[in-house]
Amino acid sequence: MKLITLLVMYLMSPLAAHGQVAAQTSTPAQMPRPGDASRYARVNPIFSPMVPYPEEAFKKGIKGTVLVTIDVDSKGLVTSVVPVSGPPELFQAAIDSAKQWKFNPPENPPIQVRYEISYGYEEHECPGPISTRGEIMGGGRLETANGLGFTLEDQDVDYLLWYFNTKVRKTGVAGEMILSITADADGRVKKVRVVKSLSPKLDKVTVKSARKWKFKLIKGNANSGPGEFEFPVTFRAVCDPDW
C-alpha cells in the first residue's frame, strides 16, 4: 500500500496578491517577478496541519505542487488563502490546510507569505541494508528553562546527510537522536551535547554539524543569558514507493 506525503515548503519569492479565499481563480494567475521578493514576509507557521489527500485526486494519480499566497493578521491568524498555480484538483485541499495555520503575531500586520504545498506518494521506511536513501528531520518546541523561545533559522545538514547515507545507513543505524543545545539570545550555538545516542561516530558528526546551526529568538528577553533546550534529530532509512 502506498503512503501519502504532504510537504510544505516556504518560498521567499512573491506572487500576485488577492483579497479573498477562492477555490478557483476567474482569471489566469500572473507569475511573480524576482524583483518583487522583498514585498513578502519571510516567516514560517508555528502550527501547520494538513487536511487529507483529496480522494479523487489520489484515485486519478494526480500529484504536484500548489503555490499559494497567505494573508496573516495581527494575531498570526490566516485571513485569506489564494492558489496561484498547480493542479486545480489540489487547490481546495491546499486552501483548507493553510486556513488552519497559525503564525507568530507579525511585527507589521497584516503580512503576506508565499508557500508551496506538495502532494505525492511517500517513500516508506525500511531496513537500512536494503534502503535506497536516507532522510534527516529535526525540530520541535525549542524553549529554554529561562524563558527563551527559538525557531531554527539555518540548519546546514549537507555533510551530515552525506555521512549518514555513505557511512551509517546501510549498517542499520537509524532512529531518533536527541541533542541538548545551548544558544544565546542572538541564536548562536554555544554548546551541544548528546542526550540520546544512536552511535558514537554518528553522534560526533551530528554534534559537529549542530555547532554551525543558527537559531532565531522568538520569545523572551534579548538580554537574557544563554539557555538550553532539547533538539530531536531523526535519521530515517527509506525505500522508494514501488519497493
Q: For the chain, 243 residues long, give each residue's pLDDT as a single digit of tens.
A: 333 445 555 443 222 222 222 222 223 333 334 344 446 677 778 888 888 778 788 778 788 899 999 999 999 999 999 999 999 999 999 999 999 999 988 888 999 999 888 887 666 778 899 899 999 988 777 888 888 888 888 888 899 999 999 999 999 999 999 999 999 988 899 999 999 999 999 999 999 999 999 998 888 887 788 899 999 999 989 887 654
Position of cell 502506498? 2
**Shortest CA distance to 207 belongs to which of 160, 154, 146?**
160
What would you report as the CA-atom Rg of the chain, rounded to the nearest whole angstrom?
Answer: 20
Q: What is the pTM of this model?
A: 0.52
**Domain residue ranges of the chain, discontinuous segments joined by +:** 3-122, 125-239
Q: What is the pLDDT of residue 177?
A: 95
Give CA–CA dist 225/159, Å, rounded: 30
| 126, three cell numbers | 525500511
DSSP β-ladder status, 124-125 and 111-122: unpaired
Q: What is the pLDDT of residue 33?
A: 41
Position of cell 498570526? 76
Give the architecture-level CATH label for domain 3-122.
2-Layer Sandwich (3.30)
Kind plus residue range of the DSSP H or E element containing 232? strand 227-239
Q: What is the pLDDT of residue 1?
A: 34
Give strand ranges (E) for 33-155.
64-72, 78-85, 111-122, 124-125, 133-138, 142-143, 149-154
Q: What is the pLDDT of residue 183?
A: 92
CA distances (Å), 106 to each of 110, 143, 222, in order?
7, 19, 17
Q: What is the DSSP letter of 166?
A: I
For CA atoms 235, 131, 117, 9, give the dihedral sign.
positive
The β-bridge partners of 21 are none
**Shortest CA distance to 195 belongs to which of 222, 230, 234?**
230
**Shortest CA distance to 11 belongs to which of 144, 115, 140?**
115
| 221, three cell numbers | 528577553
Q: What is the DSSP letter of 66?
A: E
